[in-house]
Amino acid sequence: MRFIETIKNIWKIEDLRGRLLTTLLFVLIYRFGSFVVLPGIDPTALSALHSQTAGGLMALLDMFSGGAFSNASIFALGIMPYISASIVIQLLSIAVPYFQKMQKEGESGRQKMNQITRYLTVAILLFQGPSYLVNLAVQMGQAGQPLTVGFNWFTISSTILLCAGSMFVMWLGERITDRGVGNGISFIILIGIIARLPGALVQEFSSRLNDTGTGGLMVFVLEVVILLLVFAFAIMLVQGTRRIPVQYAKRIQGNKQYGGVRQYIPLKVNAANVMPIIFAQAIMFIPIAIVGFNASEASAFTRAFMDNNGFWYNFVFALLIIAFTYFYTAIIINPVQMAENLKLNNGFIPGVKPGKKTAEYIDTIMSRITLPGSILLALIAILPAFARLFGVTMGFAQFFGGTSLLIMVGVILDTLQQIESHLLMRHYDGFFESGMRIKGRSGAMAY
């Protein structure tokens, strides 16, 4: 069987085996930490917090933290504060000359921006930590276990632990990127999502099994089939490309002739991959952080943006995804640089003048394919709201498209692409038949 043979080949490559085992170790550390409860908190008194995170936007926030939020864990605030800080810094790199200069300084500039991002993450955590503790006190009070939150040692020490926990999760993500397989930050989010999938599946199965009046088990089977179809469509969207023909001019050096061949530049329909989804979702978590994770104290306007089944939440969420798709595509794809590289290699697009005209042509093509790609991405992201209209349970509906599915598809494909590259470099067959290589973030095929 090809899959089993590929697994054997992976185990034969010492470097790849070490990376996979390192990734597994860091994942186990992360999962273990999500169950380490803050000192002074009785785990048996968290029933109200579990109920609060069973539905709505709080359920999604809990899923992003791998259940650590509802467990009152030291990892409760998760990785989202770091992502929020990254959004701010990347936006500043467009609008503020100081950050623009750092961005052009290469590796040293990137390190400076990463350091500023970490400082900003700590600042966000110092704001969110007390807010989380206030909400925790309210929920524990409802369970009959009063918790005093104010300017006291418990609040100070717990805030420090929550900040340290999130920064440690960020460190784990960076170590996975450096020494493991895949993008560490995205992988951390993926693990949190996958951890909730078995429970959501069992809950939906039990719900349909007990509800015989609406089809029962047959409806559940239909839901799984639709879920698989949406998953397949998401894969096609993530991997979809538009190929631009490129002709290389003939060059004669001595007795040898170079160039004269026709090739293609693959431009991804969704070049930004899962980053627009992650960043848009981080923005949508802001109302929760502002009101202290307690929707009952929020105004009607704020509550409208905390209801992930409501119109305004999904409308704004979709717009943010479209905007961030364009934003990240502009960062990843540089038409001017591509045009210069073609010119340096004696390449040109048939019917288009080299240089500025080529850059404008590539930019036009990217704009044309990014618009429908971003709209389709946004539609998949809001599918859970439609699933809820048909009676799908909250936990399972999050996998009917939405942030969960798109992150799963993007991160899994990206991780498989890295494994595939390791295998092909050592002349082993990958997971797919020859000629069907997985496409990475850049849109290039891995050979």
What's the token pair of residue 182?
């895949």
Task: Identify the domain boundary among 117, 149, 180.
Answer: 180
Is the residue at 5 inside a domain?
A: no
Are the C-beta atoms of 126 and 172 separated by less than 8 Å?
Answer: no
For residue 323, tell me if it sits in a domain. yes
* 259 in any annotated domain: yes
* Domain presence at residue 326: yes
From CA 192, how far away is CA 221, in angstroms rounded? 25
- Which structural domain, as residue segments, surrounds residue 52? 34-180
Per residue in 400-437, pLDDT tens? 776 778 788 888 888 888 888 777 776 665 555 544 44
Residue 220 placed within a domain: yes
**Strand order, beta sheet including 241-248:** 262-268, 241-248, 347-348
**Contact call for residues 117 and 149 (beta carbons, < 8 A):** no
Residue 445 pLDDT: 30
**Global confidence as pTM:** 0.77
Total domain count for the chain?
2
- Span 304-316, pLDDT tens digits: 777 777 888 889 9
| Domain annotation covers residue 95 | yes
Encode pLDDT of 330-359 as tens digits.
Answer: 878 888 888 888 888 778 888 888 888 888
Q: How far apart are CA 340 and CA 243, in angstroms?
A: 18
> 262 with 351, same domain?
yes
What's the mean pLDDT when you consider all of the chain? Answer: 80
CATH code, domain carrying 271: 1.10.3370.10
Please tell me whether residues 248 and 123 are part of one structural domain.
Answer: no
* 73 and 132 assigned to the same domain: yes
Burial level of 106, CB count in 10 A (0-12/13-18/19+)? exposed
